[in-house]
Amino acid sequence: MLNVAQWRRLDRRFRVHLMAHVVLGQAAVVPFALAGLTLILGTGGGPYLTVPAVISSFGAAIYNAWVLLVEIIR
């Protein structure tokens, strides 16, 4: 959890990277939560929401792998 005081002390150039990381992580998790919720409620959207959830998780994994393999070496 990042509080307001830490956010204000953080250098501006790192804020963009932090927000991109948070948004990417949430984009990988939220569709799974929605799919599970619709399955529990029985509205029938769960299997259809699982596909974008898996695709966004692969996207997040590829981005993290890129950062670990290429960006850190620079």
Task: Strands of 1-74 (E only): list them.
Answer: none
Put simply, whether the predicted model's pTM sits higher than 0.75 gets the answer no
Q: What are the pLDDT digits (tens) for 30-60? A: 999 999 999 999 888 888 889 999 999 999 8
* pLDDT above 60 (res 67): yes
Report the amino acid identity of residue 5: A
Q: What is the pLDDT of residue 43?
A: 87
Residue 47 to residues 10, 38, 60, 73: CA-CA distances in angstroms?
Answer: 40, 9, 20, 39
Which of 21-25, 47-51, 68-72 holds the top average pLDDT?
Answer: 47-51
